[in-house]
Structure formats: C-alpha cells, structure tokens
Amino acid sequence: MTPPPGLRLGAAWSATQAEGASLASDWFAHEQAGAAPPSADGNGAVSDLDADARQLADAGLDLVRMGIDWARIEPAEGRIDRAALETYRERITSIRSTGLAVWVTLADGVLPGWFAVDLNGWRDRTSRSLLWPRHVERCADAFGDLVDGWAPITRTVAAARAAFLVGTAPPAVRSPQKFIETVRGGHLAALESWRVLRGGRAPVAACYEVGPVRAADERVTSSRRARALEETLWCWTEGFRDGVLHLRRLPPVQVPAMRDAFDVVGLFPEGELVVDGDGGLYRRHGPEHLLATLHRAAEEGPDRPLMVLGQTVAAGAADDPADLERLDEALAQVDAARRDGIDLRAWLWEPAVDGYRIAAADLLAGTDGSIGFGPRLGLLTRDRTLRPTGVELGARARAERQLRER
C-alpha cells in the first residue's frame, strides 16, 4: 500500500493543560486535597485561543487535536451547562477560521468527579454504556458539524496507572484489579463512542498508547511485569482481529463489533518502556523506537489508516537544542514508515503550548516528578514565543502541503 502524498502535521493539547482543572473535575478535587499543584488557568489558552490558533496556523501547521472538558459541560449528573457547550463551539469555529483542521477528544484523563469517583467511571457498565454515550451524543449534536475528526478517549492506560498503581491521580487508590478493570472499561467505552459517532461527517479514531516494552533486568518478576504491560498496551490488536479482548486478571470479553469499528487508529507512542520487578516503570524518552512501533501497529492492527495523534518529543528542559534533533529523528522515522508502505496520515506534537502537565499525561507520571508547570514541552512557550521546533515543524508541514496540492 502506498500512503497518500503529503503527511499532515500538527499539535495537540488536553483540556486541563490548556484551561486548568474545572471545579467539578476529579483532578480539581485532587488539587484541593494537596495531592497535585494547582493548575490555575493551564497554559492560558482560554484568554486568547484565537491568537494561539493563528500562530500555529501561521507557522504552517495543518491540524490540531483539542481536549473538551466533560466536567465543564456536565458538572453534575444530568445538569448540562449550555453556555459551556456554546463556548466550545465558538472555540472550534475560531480555530477552524485560521485554516487548521480540528480533531476533538472528549475524555483525556480528567473526568467529572461524579462520574469517575462517585460512579466508578469506566469500570461501571451503566456509566460507560449509558452516561458516557449520552455525553458523546450531546457533543456531536452541539458541534459535530464543525469537527474534522474525533478521538473520543485517549490515554486510558496512563490514566488508570496513575489512579490505581502509582497513586498520583484521583482516586489515588492502589488496586491492580481496578487498574485493569479501568483499562478494559476504556476499551468498551471507546466502542460505545464509535456506535454514537459512526456515519457522521467526521472520521472516528480508536486511540492507543503504544511502544516497545522490555524488562529492566533478568529477574522473573521483571519479565512477568514487562509481559503484562505489553499485553495491556497491545490487546486492542486482538480485539480488531478476533473480536475478543484479553486482559490479565479478567475473563475474555467478546467484542465482535470491534472488527469493523473505527475509521482510523490513533497512536500515542510512549518511547521504550522499561519495567522492573518491583513495579517501577521507566521510559527512554525519545523517538528512536517509533518506526518499529508503527510497523507493529500496521502489521498486527486492523486495515485502517494510522495517525500519531500525540507524541511528546521534547525532554522538558527550557529551550533544549537537542529537541530539534529529536524532532528530526521522529520525522525521519515517520518518513521511513511511509516509504515502507504504512498508511500513516498525520503526526502531532504534544503539547502545543507549555502548560500544566497532569499525572495522566504519560506512563511515567508520578515517577519522574513532572506533574505541574515544570516541564517545557510545547512548540510555543507560555508567553507565546514560537520555539525552533515550531518553526521547523511548520516548515515541514508547508512542504508536505505542497506535495498534496500538486
């Protein structure tokens, strides 16, 4: 297969990164309990999102993926804030007016407290198969005519790990059983999203954290934990192939509808994940394993186009010149994948702007001390200076656009 000409390049952000935690979110309660730094207004995007979008568009980017905060729309079960829905509609309209395509995420690690804590979130069948689809349908009705693509649920594994293994995200209850039940529930909730959104004007992506996993040492416990994590990250391939989800500690779940579900597979490469026998998880932060990850997703996954809907490439130090090298390496591996015939349509840098980093932002959350405003990971600084990585990514995006327009 030859992928279509012209890779699309862009940037992504979560709702809490951009806006700060809303009062009804589980993360705000986590902050109030002193378990995380205050997120305040996030990266400040709410005050001038038009300018942010214009700057990214002027740099040359093609698209963005933005997070929608469910807790702002439905701060209590059944109580809908129509003004919040209209605000998100206005923001999407504003971004699209710059020429950027907009993909929307409806759950990106932070959830309404009433849903995630009081009603057990993705673990609860009623919550994921009734309350969640209602929210998806509500958003589709409110601004689905503007959305260029949906990535309904992202980074379920990271969020579950932070909440139930590491203890750095709400409800911060250490329970391997609840961790795996949450992961399973996230897969099933994503399928519910597809049932609501399929047939609309915009494609719908199934979203997965991916990456190679290895044991840190030769201990049996390290190997066992590494295999368990690898199975957790890649179980979705079996769902598409055989219509069944296998997760450790749980009986198999039959999901025959998954074989034909979703229009796109959205990937969130996590670098190389190294697991030790004591439960430690370490990530080799860098793009060097991206090509192998893309090959595995293409070969073991369904016959769908791939999109990298968010990858953190920067190391987090202020204006690190090595970030340009990391970007070049990531794009080189993307190019190699496309030359190999992998139908990869887009690659997004995450986050777009330096902002607040929640514990669910990656699998290392809580073990690397990176929660809060410390890491500087964006294409734009907090004061909206475009970094060299933003200049380079934009230039590459313009070159790819010329290929599409030939």
Estimate to the nearest angstrom the gap between the alpha carbon of 55 and the chain centroid: 22
If you average pLDDT over residues 232-250, what whole number do you get?
Answer: 96
Q: What is the pTM of this model?
A: 0.95
Which residues, at least 6 apart from 57, have a Cβ–Cβ distance to it below 8 Å?
A: 98, 99, 100
State the amino acid at position 227 in one-letter form: R
Query: pLDDT exceeding 70 applies to what percent of the chain?
Result: 96
3-state secondary structure the chain: CCCCCCCEEEEEECHHHHHCCCCCEHHHHHHHCCCCCCCCCCCCHHHCHHHHHHHHHHHCCCEEEEECCHHHHCCECCECCHHHHHHHHHHHHHHHHCCCEEEEECECCCCEHHHHHHCCHHHCHHHHHHHHHHHHHHHHHHHCCCCCEECCECCHHHHHHHHHHHCCCCCCCCCHHHHHHHHHHHHHHHHHHHHHHCCCCCCEEEEEEECCEEECCCCHHHHHHHHHHHHHHHHHHHHHHHCEECCCCCCCEECHHHHHCCCEEEEEECCEEEECCCCCEEEECCCCCHHHHHHHHHHHCCCCCEEEEEECCCCECCCCCHHHHHHHHHHHHHHHHHHCCCCEEEEEECCCECCCECHHHCCCCCCCCCCECCCECCCECCCCCECHHHHHHHHHHHHHHHHHHC
> Residue 185: which pLDDT band, with cuts at 50, 70 and 90?
very high
> Residue 279: which pLDDT band, with cuts at 50, 70 and 90?
confident
Q: What is the structure's pLDDT at 98? A: 97
Asked if 237 contacts 179 with a C-beta cutoff of 8 angstroms, the reply is: no
If you average pLDDT over residues 209-221, what whole number do you get?
Answer: 93
> Residue 1: which pLDDT band, with cuts at 50, 70 and 90?
low
Q: What is the structure's pLDDT at 299? A: 97
Task: Check pLDDT > 80 for residue 272.
Answer: yes
> Residue 44: which pLDDT band, with cuts at 50, 70 and 90?
confident
With vertex at residue 360, the alpha carbon angle to CA 105 and CA 293, rounded to the nearest 5 degrees, is 75
Domains for the chain: give ranges and CATH numbers: 8-405 (3.20.20.80)
Q: What is the structure's pLDDT at 359? A: 57
If you average pLDDT over residues 30-35, what whole number do you get?
Answer: 93
Q: Chain-wide mean pLDDT for the chain?
A: 92
pLDDT digits (tens, 9 = 90+) for 97-118: 999 999 999 999 999 999 999 9
If you average pLDDT over residues 176-204, what whole number do you get?
Answer: 97
pLDDT digits (tens, 9 = 90+) for 297-312: 999 999 999 999 999 8
Q: What is the structure's pLDDT at 12? A: 97
pLDDT digits (tens, 9 = 90+) for 350-387: 999 998 888 543 444 333 446 778 778 899 999 999 99
Least confident of 231-240, 284-293, 376-385: 284-293
How far apart CA 62 and CA 144 sit, in angstroms, is 19
> Residue 287: which pLDDT band, with cuts at 50, 70 and 90?
confident
Q: What is the structure's pLDDT at 167? A: 85
